[in-house]
Amino acid sequence: MPQQQVLTITSTILFCWIAFIIAWERISPYRKGLKFFREGFWIDLVWYTLIQSYFLKIMIFDYIIAPMQRHWDLSEFHFVSNWPVAVQVLFFLFTHDLYIYLFHRFQHSNKFFWRFHEAHHSGKEVDFLAGSRSHIVEIIINQTIEFAPIILLGADPMVIPIKAMLDAMFGMFIHGNIKVNMGKLKYIINSPELHLWHHANYIEVFHANFATKFSFWDYLFKSVYDPGHAPGDKPENWGLHYDYPRDYFLQHAFSVKRFDEQKLLKYKWFSWYYNLRPRLMSIIDKALPAKLTTAKQAAPNQENKVPEPVALVPQEENILQ
Ligand SMILES: [Zn+2]
Ligand SMILES: [Zn+2]
């Protein structure tokens, strides 16, 4: 099948999936009252989903993987190229999912690598778009490790758009504000039931539910936390337990050097930049219907203080050390 046709089909499926997930979130919400244009919606959409993805795709494929291919092209060995496309997709899905489970778990246990992952946990209102919030370094590492083997081993060119489509579909599903009962399937396929807990601000889940697509990694490696109820609807039940910048560039700066935004406000240039986003947001908020927009944003100088995480009483078998 011509590559352009594959791209058209995968893009069409993806747009239908987005509409389906958005409708599902409205029909059966995990947290009731979460607005469509919730806090951080525009950063996740404009910066993380559109701008960052666009530039990182060029960087990863043209400036990292292409030079690698010139040095280590293994396609002549036909390791995978003789397999049917479906088997190739499953093979890379499975192997990359194991890698991402292990790396994700490592990021939660390593202070240095946590700095490239905390952005993903910073949202207090998690929905289908929230999964796009990932630090530049995290994306470069993960997507290079994801797509380089596909190209270097000479897989069918169709595998890349199919795999990218599945990544996006799973990302939207597991972060979707959807109340879903997976039944026995929850032991195999990851879902909001487990992954939304991973975004909760509880000590018990800081080292739990690392899986992306296949939840069996968490069951296999005993890192599942599934108490049978939701984390709660209060903002302090979600996200990080410490203050984290709301601005895309400040979020990346924060991973390099910790700073207190309130103290930096004494500098005129910082104050101007810091207040630019709330000013733009208030213009956008006024232009949108009130029922779709998020609750009133905190004034720049009155940032919400996030309380310490509220410890639940975990079930005995779910306590993770
Ligand atoms: Zn995580
Ligand atoms: Zn997530």
| Residue percentage of the chain with pLDDT more than 90 | 78
* Nearest Cα to Cα of residue 256 among 121, 112, 143, 59: 112
pTM, full prediction: 0.87
Q: In the prediction, which pLDDT does 77 show?
A: 81
Q: Tell me, in angstroms, the distance from the centre of ligand 1 to residue 220's CA.
A: 18
Cα 206 to ligand 2 centroid, rounded to whole Å: 12
Which region among 35-39, 222-226, 293-297 has the lowest average model confidence (pLDDT)?
Answer: 293-297
Q: Are 25 and 178 in contact (CB under 8 A)?
A: yes
Residue 184 CA to residue 163 CA, distance in Å, equals 25
Q: What is the pLDDT of residue 293?
A: 66
Which amino acid makes up residue 252? H
What string of H, E and C letters represents the secondary structure of 275-296?
HHHHHHHHHHHHHCCHHHECCC
CB atoms < 10 A from the CB of 138, how many? Answer: 20
In this structure, are residues 48 and 134 in contact, taking their beta carbons and an 8 Å threshold? yes
Interval between CA 41 and ligand 2 midpoint (Å): 15
What pLDDT was estimated at residue 311? Answer: 44
- 104 C-alpha to center of ligand 1: Å? 6
For the chain, the average pLDDT equals 90
Closest CA to 192 of 205, 206, 180, 209: 180
Q: Name the one residue in this structure whose structure tokens are 């060029």.
A: 58
Mean predicted confidence (pLDDT) in 53-70: 97
Q: Note the pLDDT of residue 204.
A: 82
Distance 205 CA to ligand 1 centre (A): 9
Tokens for 70, please give them.
């010139």
Q: How far is CA 4 from CA 8, 152, 165, 176, 216, in A?
A: 6, 21, 14, 29, 35
Task: State yes or no: pLDDT of 310 exceeds 60.
Answer: no
The pLDDT of residue 245: 95
Q: 4 CA distance to ligand 2 centroid (A)? A: 31
Of all ligands present, the nearest one to the C-alpha of 210 is 1
Q: What is the pLDDT of residue 76?
A: 81
* Residue 274 CA from chain centroid, whole number: 25
Per-residue pLDDT tens over the stretch 229-271: 999 988 889 999 999 999 999 999 999 999 999 999 999 999 9
Please tell me the distance from the alpha carbon of residue 214 to that of residue 174, in angstroms, as a whole number: 11
State the distance from the centre of ligand 2 to the C-alpha of 134, rounded, in angstroms: 9
Give me ligand 1 centre to Cα 242, in Å: 15
pLDDT digits (tens, 9 = 90+) for 148-181: 999 999 999 999 999 999 999 999 999 999 999 9
Cα 120 to averaged position of ligand 2 atoms, centre (Å): 6
How many angstroms is it from 275 CA to the middle of ligand 2? 28
Task: List, for residues 184-238, the tens digit of each pLDDT value.
Answer: 999 999 999 999 999 999 988 889 999 999 999 999 999 999 999 999 988 889 9
> Separation of 175 CA from ligand 2 center, angstroms?
6
What's the gap in Å between 211 CA and the centre of ligand 2?
Answer: 9
Q: Stretch 1-9: mean pLDDT, rounded?
A: 90
Residues 84-130 pLDDT 10s: 999 999 999 999 999 999 999 999 999 999 999 999 999 999 999 99
pLDDT of the residue at 22: 98
Ligand nearest to the CA of 108: 1
* Helix ranges (DSSP H) in 153-265: 159-175, 192-198, 216-220, 248-256, 261-264
How far apart CA 65 and CA 145 sit, in angstroms, is: 9
